[in-house]
Structure 1
C-alpha cells in the first residue's frame, strides 16, 4: 500500500503522532497510577512540543499542506478536549475549575461548527495571534493540571492558568464569532 504524499511529510507525521498520543495519554491519566501519570506528563510534553514543531518544520521546510492545515487544529482540539474530559472524570477538576474547563470545551466545539459553516461559504477566517496564545496557555495549564496530581503545591498554579486559559478561550471565541457574524445575514441564493 502506497502512503499518500502528504503523510510522508515529517510535519504531518508529527501531527498524526499527536493525535495517536491522545488516547494513550488519557488512558495513562485515567488509570490513577502515579508511575503512569509521570509517563503521561512526559508524553504530554512531547505532544505539546509537536504542536509548535510541526508548524515550524512545515514553514521551514516549505512543506505546508492542506492536510496539515486541517489536521493541526483537529489535533489541538482532541488533545485539549479529551484531557479536559479525562480530568473531569478523574476529578482533577473540581468545583469552580469546572467552569473554565466547560467554557473551553464549549468554545472549541462551537468554533469548529462556525468554521464548518464558513467553509461551506468558501470563507476562511485566519487564526488570530491571540488565539495562538490561547492554545499555548491551554497547553501550559493542562501541563500543570497533570503535574498537580504528582507534585503538591502546583494545584493553585494549575487552577490560575486554567482560568486564564478559559478567559482567553472565551474572548477569542467571541472575537471569532463577531468576525463571522456578517455572514449570517448574507443571503444564499
Structure 2
C-alpha cells in the first residue's frame, strides 16, 4: 500500500464520516449542527483535492481507488442517517434519502458480486455529479438545522402571538427572528430540492450500472 498525500486525504475523509454523527453525541445543538456542517464541508472539499492531486502528481493507486468511493458513500450514508434521525420524519425528506441509501447498497452489492469484472461499473461523469449534488444537499440541510436552532434559541420564552407579530413586522425584531426564519425556510426548501435532484441522479446512475452489469449476471457466464 502506498501512503501518499491523496491517499491520506481520502483516509481523513473516511474517518470524518462517523465524526459527523459523533458531533451530535458530544455537543448540544446548534453547536453540533455547526461542527457537523464544518466537518462535512471540509471532508467534501478533500474529495475534489485528493482526486485532482492524484491525477496531477500521477499518484493514482489501488488503495486510493478502493478507499475513495467507500469514503464518499460513508459520508453520504452517515450524514443522511443523522439528518433523517433529527428531522420530523417528513416523507419529503425520507423518500429521497431512502432512494439514495438503497442505490448505494445495491451498487456496492453489484460490485462485490462481480469481483474482478467490477471494472465494467466505472464511475461516470453523471455519477460524479450525483455525488456532488448529494454533498451540497446535505451541507444545505445541515445549515437549515443551524438556522432552525438559532431561531428557537432567539424565540425562547416568547409566546406564539408575539413571534407572529415580530415576523409580520408589527413588533420590533430585537433578536433577529426574521432573518433566522428566512434562512431556515430557504435552506430547508433548497436542501430538499437538491436532495430530490440527487435522488433522481442516484436512481438514473443505479439503473445505468445495473444495465452494464446485466451481461455478467446471466447463468452460465
Same fold (TM over 0.5): yes
Q: What runs of 5+ residues in structure 2 fail to find an aligned partner?
A: 148-183
Q: 1:175 aligns with which of 208, 211, 216?
A: 208
Equivalents in 2 of 1:95, 1:87: separation in Å? 13
Report the CA distance shift for 1:61/1:120 in structure 2 as closer, same or farther (over 3 A). Answer: closer
Deviations 1:11-45 (A, max 9, x none): 01001101111121112245551122112211111
Q: Radius of gyration: which is bigger?
A: 2
The TM-score normalised by the length of structure 2 is: 0.78
Q: Take 1:123 and 1:184, find their aligned partners in 2: how far apart are those partners?
A: 14
State the TM-score, normalizing by the size of structure 1.
0.91
Q: CA deviation at 1:95?
A: 2.2
**Corresponding position: 1:21 with 2:21:** no
- Counterpart CA distance in 2 for 1:92 and 1:158 is 15
Return closer, same or farther for 1:46/1:27 CA change in 2, 3 Å cut-off. same
Query: What is the aligned residue count?
Result: 183
Residue 80 of structure 1 corresponds to which residue in structure 2? 76
In structure 2, relative to structure 1, the CA distance for the partners of 1:32 and 1:167 (3 Å cut) is: farther
Deviation at residue 121 of structure 1 after TM alignment: 4.0
Distance 1:134 1:119 in 2: 24
| Per-residue Cα deviation, 1:31-68 (whole angstroms, up to 9, x for no partner) | 55112211221111110000111100101111100000
Q: Could you tell me which residue of structure 2 aligns to residue 145 of structure 1?
A: 141
- Identify the match of residue 40 of structure 1 among 36, 44, 66: 36
Indicate the RMSD between aligned Cα atoms, in angstroms.
Answer: 1.6
Instruction: Please give the per-residue CA displacement for 1:124-159, whole angstroms capped at 9, x wherever unaligned.
Output: 421111011000000000011101101212100011
How far apart are the structure 2 equivalents of 1:123 and 1:71? 15
